[in-house]
Structure 1
Amino acid sequence: MDTNQRGIEAMQKGDFEKAATIFSDAIEANPDDPISYINFGNLLSAVNELEKALKFYEKALELEPNAATAYYGAGNVYFNLENYEEAKNMFEKALKKGLDQGDLHFMIGMSLVNLNQNRFALPYFQRAVELNEQDKDARFQYGLCLAQLDLVDDALIQFQEVVKLDDQHADAYYNLGVAYAFKEDGDQAKQMLEKALQIQPDHLLAGHALKIITTNNE
């Protein structure tokens, strides 16, 4: 097992100090290898040393301008720093450099949502779901985008898939309730909202929506 792999294993086990030592040794032994800098950046990002992590990703990109995972790591740092414009730019560069993973498409979508560009986020969430059909977070965000663009029937399908993957997803049941209410199916809407409240009794939005539907049906 090579040095970087040992560091990654230590990191996965939560032994961050050991991982840091291994990655430091790897950098010292081969200071021109961008992989060690990327791994150290990932470690620093995992322990919330975001500014320091960025320095390691930048060093990796100095050594290898086509290192897609360094752009992805930097994108995650900027996202966590709530610099969504720069996060989007980094994620898009990772995509251009050949990284085509569901998580990357999801993060581009989330960056665009935070920039209030839901229409542009939609295809990225769609692609994330295509690449990983079990990704309930991507499906949920895809459903939200569809709903916000008034594509209610398509949104319903996604929220239904989310609750198949996770039958305790209160927000998905809430959004199903809203979608059924929009389609004037009061019984289904009420059932979905009640399910959301059963899972999460303090779900204020579901409680409010249920109150409105119940009042309208009286």
Structure 2
Amino acid sequence: MEKNQLGIQYMQEGKWEDAAKVFMEAIEENPDDAVSYINFGNVLSAVGEIEKALKFYEKAIGLDENAGAAYYSAGNLYYNQENFDEAKNMFEMAMQKGINSADNFFMLGMSLIQLEQGKLALPYLQRGAELNPDDPEILFQYGLSLAQLELIDEAINQLEKCIEIDPRHADAHYNLGVAYGFKENSEMALKHFEEALDIQPDHLLAGYGKKLIENDQND
């Protein structure tokens, strides 16, 4: 088995030291191959060696400026460090270099949301949902983004898809409750607030929403 493939297998098995050893051997054998540097960076990232991982991604980009996976991996590191502006730049570069995966579109959208650029985020979240319609978190964030732009019917559609896949997504139920409340459908709003509380009894916002509706019904 080729060394990079073997290293990826070790990563999938959680054998980080074995993976690192194999990737380092691959780098020594072919020091101009960007892929080995990306893979070694991914091992470093997985074990929390963030700064070292970034250096390996930078090395990969230096060897191959079209190494889209290096930009994507660096973007994830920057996002996790809450450096959302740099994360956005990396995910945009990954897209320009041919990384047209649901995850890259999703993470670019999430970076823009963190930068309070919800309108700009929407098409990337939409594309992520189109490419991976079975990922409840992508559907949830897309639905949430639609709701924040007051596209309520479209938001309900995406949030309903989310709970079809993950019926125990408490935040999706809560936001469905809010959306139905916005449409003055108190029966459906109450149903989803109660679902959220059944899943997560300490969901304070769902509890508050439920109380508001019950107070209105008792008036």
TM-score, normalised via structure 1 length: 0.99
Partner of 1:134: 134
**Structure-to-structure mapping, 1:87-166, within 5 angstroms:** 87-166=87-166
What whole-Å deviation, never above 9, does each CA across 1:52-100 have from its counterpart, x for those lacking one? Answer: 1000000001110110001111111111111100000010000001110
Partner of 1:180: 180
C-alpha deviation, 1:29, in angstroms: 1.0
Q: What letter corresponds to residue 26 of structure 1 in structure 2? A: A
CA distance in 2, matches of 1:195, 1:48: 37
1:5 aligns with 2:9: no
CA distance in 2, matches of 1:187, 1:98: 46
CA distance in 1, matches of 2:195, 2:73: 38
What whole-Å deviation, never above 9, does each CA across 1:92-111 have from its counterpart, x for those lacking one? Answer: 00000111000000000110
Q: Give the percent of matched residue pairs that are identical in Structure 1 and Structure 2.
A: 58
C-alpha deviation, 1:30, in angstroms: 1.0
Partner of 2:74: 74
Q: What letter corresponds to residue 55 of structure 2 in structure 1? A: K
Q: What letter corresponds to residue 75 of structure 1 in structure 2? A: G
1:61 aligns with 2:61: yes
CA distance in 1, matches of 2:164, 2:52: 40
Partner of 1:202: 202
CA distance in 2, matches of 1:204, 1:48: 33
C-alpha deviation, 1:40, in angstroms: 0.4
Q: What letter corresponds to residue 54 of structure 1 in structure 2? A: L
Q: SS at 1:178's partner residue?
A: helix
Q: What letter corresponds to residue 29 of structure 2 in structure 1? A: A
Q: What letter corresponds to residue 3 of structure 2 in structure 1? A: T
C-alpha deviation, 1:48, in angstroms: 1.6
TM-score, normalised via structure 2 length: 0.98
CA distance in 2, matches of 1:76, 1:63: 20
Q: List, as ranges, runs of 4+ consecutive aligned residues in structure 1 with deviation greater than 6 Å.
A: none
C-alpha deviation, 1:166, in angstroms: 0.5
Partner of 2:45: 45
CA distance in 2, matches of 1:80, 1:105: 16
CA distance in 1, matches of 2:70, 2:140: 27
- Structure 2's unaligned 5+ residue stretches are none
RMSD: 0.6
How many residue pairs end up in the alignment? 218
- Structure 1's unaligned 5+ residue stretches are none
C-alpha deviation, 1:47, in angstroms: 1.3
CA distance in 2, matches of 1:192, 1:95: 37
C-alpha deviation, 1:127, in angstroms: 0.1
Q: What letter corresponds to residue 95 of structure 1 in structure 2? A: M
CA distance in 2, matches of 1:188, 1:99: 40
Partner of 2:36: 36
CA distance in 2, matches of 1:97, 1:125: 19
Q: SS at 1:133's partner residue?
A: coil
CA distance in 1, matches of 2:110, 2:40: 25
C-alpha deviation, 1:46, in angstroms: 1.2
Q: What letter corresponds to residue 23 of structure 2 in structure 1? A: F
CA distance in 2, matches of 1:18, 1:191: 51
CA distance in 1, matches of 2:112, 2:181: 28
Q: What letter corresponds to residue 93 of structure 1 in structure 2? A: M
